[in-house]
Amino acid sequence: MPVVVVVGAQWGDEGKGAMVDTLAKEADIVVRFQGGANAGHTVIYKGKPVALHLIPSGITHEHTVCVIGNGVVVDPKALLDEIEALSSLGISITPERLKISDRAHLTLPYHRMLDAAREMAGSRLRLGTTRRGVGPTYVDKVDRVGIRVGDLKFPERLETKLRINWEHKQAFFNALPPDERPDFNAVLDELLKYAELIQPYITDTVTWLNEQADAGRRILLEGAQGTGLDVDFGTYPFVTSSNTTAGGACTGSGLPPTKINFVLGIAKAYTTRVGEGPFPTELQGEEQVKLREKGREYGATTGRPRRCGWFDAVLVRYAATVNGCTALALTKLDVLSGYPEVKICVAYRWRGEMLTTFPAESFILEEVEPVYETLPGWDEPLSECRSWEKLPANAQRFVMRLQELVGVPIATVSVGPERSCVLTKPDAPSIW
Ligand code: IMP
């Protein structure tokens, strides 16, 4: 199965980074296809956690080529900082190992300002974004005033490009106090400096990736965020600005649907979300704090505490459908050890109705009451388990029930952050 897509089946932070890292061992190429420096994947390298925001998780494996696809929005400063941080850990970043699409859009310094300004403009506009300028960069892309990575190859044309984008932002700049307004020449100089540093990595990744796929190379397409944050399928408007689902893997890489062989959805054994927006199974008070502490649920990018709740089978079933998941990988099962009972949301009750599908309207999701099925828990810590057979019977029963409710085979179960903690179920479909 040479082309595999990995996507989040919840609201992000499902542990995709660690799964991709495990799969990348056997991959030739790992591709990011959407999002920007809003993503935060933590992988373990030589026993140390490494937070990645733009560069695909495969970078820690020497043999893998990493690609930042056309669907990604690239903050050049964040990218260069990340290259430097990885280099200081001894991970060599060369143009042979990192390729950046000439069609990817650039996040400009004032995109972050625009993101923050919207967040601070009032509670009705607030989305709880990561303030990394991702939304405003995609706005410019769709409004056809964006600057692309490929434009950095032609410094003599950059000024004109920036001028167009600058004019587009006049109303915003004029509303700022004069001492906070960015300076055109300073931004241009900064871009020219980045242009020189980023040039060697710029590639026609669409052609390159298709050639690699045709040559039978194993390609892993790594999604950021999750289905609940997809701009079309998620809890709009409380979403990110890109297609986080499997369709986005095609539009964000240039690899067509006919070349995708396997879609792996990643779901945590419970649910978390950061930022604003509906969350039907969110726990309250002490119960939420307990799960957050047990799961160490704090954002990799912003450090924000994540909202926590029980597994929502309505959401994950919907995710399995819109992504066409071949299988699911279940992560952080170990976190549920010690609960006398574990819960699964199997439906929503809304104004006297029973909903078994995921509604489009966020206000309905705000109002629903989750309908839970309760299963017996397990006391044993799981972090030492190294095979599916070694899991306590109640933990296995929980996983099997999730599989039944979601309607897709669960291929692996993770019981800890290390690569050895990913347990493969005996009946798992083979990924590669
Ligand atoms: P943005 O992507 O920064 O515009 O933020 C939009 C929404 O997506 C907010 O609710 C963020 O908290 C959420 N979000 C963005 N990136 C991630 C991520 O990597 N994990 C989880 N949530 C994210």
CA of 260 to the centre of ligand 1 (A): 26
Per-residue pLDDT of 308-332, as tens digits, reads 999 999 999 999 999 999 999 999 9
Distance between CA 389 and CA 96 in Å, rounded? 41
Q: Which domains can be identified in the chain, with CATH numbers? A: 3-102+208-263 (3.40.440.10), 105-198 (1.10.300.10), 268-424 (3.90.170.10)
Per-residue pLDDT of 117-156, as tens digits, reads 999 998 888 999 999 999 999 999 999 999 999 999 999 9
- Tell me the backbone φ, ψ of residue 233, rounded to 5 degrees: -100, -10
Joined together, the tokens standing for residue 274 give: 């950061």
Instruction: Specify the pTM.
Output: 0.96
The number of the ligand 1 atom at minimal distance from the alpha carbon of 304 is 12
The number of the ligand 1 atom at minimal distance from the alpha carbon of 39 is 19
Per-residue pLDDT of 154-174, as tens digits, reads 999 999 999 999 999 999 999
CA of 194 to the centre of ligand 1 (A): 26
With 80 as the cut, is the pLDDT of residue 49 above it?
no
pLDDT of amino acid 401: 98
Q: What share of the chain is helix, strand, coil (3-state, %, to 5)?
A: 40, 20, 40
Percent of the chain with pLDDT over 70: 100
pLDDT of amino acid 22: 86
| Residues counted in the chain | 432
Per-residue pLDDT of 378-430, as tens digits, reads 999 998 999 999 999 999 999 999 999 999 999 999 999 888 899 999 999 99
- CB 229 less than 6 A from any atom of ligand 1: yes
Q: Mean pLDDT throughout 53-59?
A: 91
With 60 as the cut, is the pLDDT of residue 79 above it?
yes
Q: Tell me the angle at which helices 155-168 and 184-198 cross, rounded to the nearest 10 degrees.
A: 140
Protein residue whose Cα sits closest to atom 10 of ligand 1: 275
Distance between CA 184 and CA 39 in Å, rounded? 28
Protein residue whose Cα sits closest to atom 1 of ligand 1: 129
Distance between CA 45 and CA 51 in Å, rounded? 10
Residue type (1 letter), 289: V
Confidence of residue 1 (pLDDT cuts 50, 70, 90): low
